[in-house]
A = this chain, B = another copy of it.
Amino acid sequence: MQLRAIFSMEQLLVDMDGVLADVYSQFLRLEREETGVSLAPDSLLGKLEAEAFPHYEKHVHSKDFFRTAPVMSGSVEGLRYLNEKYKVVVVSSAMEFPDSLFEKRMWMAEFYPFISWTQLVFCGDKSVIRGEIMIDDHPKNLNYFPGRKILFTQPHNLLLPDETWQRVSNWEELLRIL
């Protein structure tokens, strides 16, 4: 890769939970194990995770919740491709959950080994991070971002109008627009 190409690359901020990590599958599995009942997909629509999953607090504070999350379908090859084309920074609002920091660092190293630790940021408030493009499933992160905003569909955001962002439903759609 030419040095000139690296310097002219746009900085692309990629969210972890809900974009790389399939946390909904993780929540659904743990709720099923907890109660023996599968939550109906419709019951998740328009609710934040903390509202949608009755045992949310227990799950997010349980050891290995983040370490054992499944990767989002298509995200490994997708991120590998984007990492060649953009200056990728993986940004996670991990700071609220102290145990998640180590787990997320190890999870990234295992599933996305082509992403260096120099490309990772764990924070509490994403508005402090620079970038030209942001991919996130949470409007609260996109709303204060001054660049191009891409919303990754998850049940909690499915009912929101798409006025200020581009919406993608999966990694295939994401790669089509980037």
Residues of A within 8 A of B (CB): 11, 89, 95-96, 98-99, 101-102, 105-106, 116-125, 127-131
Shortest C-beta distance, A175 to chain B (Å), equals: 23
A95-B105, A98-B102 as given contacts; A123 in contact with B125, CB under 8 Å: no
Give the contacting residue for A120; candidates B89, B102, B106, B123; CB below 8 A. B123
Give complex CA distance A171, B120 in Å. Answer: 30
Q: In the complex the two chains form, is B123's CB within 8 Å of A122's CB?
A: yes
Shortest C-beta distance, A41 to chain B (Å), equals: 32
Give the contacting residue for A129; candidates B96, B117, B119, B128; CB below 8 A. B128
- Can you list 5 A-B pairs, Cβ within 8 angstroms, ordered by A? A95-B121, A102-B102, A120-B124, A121-B123, A128-B131
Closest residue of B by beta carbon distance from A119: B124
Closest residue of B by beta carbon distance from A106: B98
* Complex interface: chain B residues within 8 A of A127 (CB): 130
Give the contacting residue for A121; candidates B11, B96, B122; CB below 8 A. B122
* Complex interface: chain B residues within 8 A of A96 (CB): 117
Q: In the complex the two chains form, is A128's CB within 8 Å of B89's CB?
A: yes
Q: In the complex the two chains form, is A105's CB within 8 Å of B116's CB?
A: no
Closest residue of B by beta carbon distance from A87: B128
| Residue in A96, A102, A121, A128 with the greatest tally of chain B CB atoms within 10 Å | A128
Shortest C-beta distance, A125 to chain B (Å), equals: 5
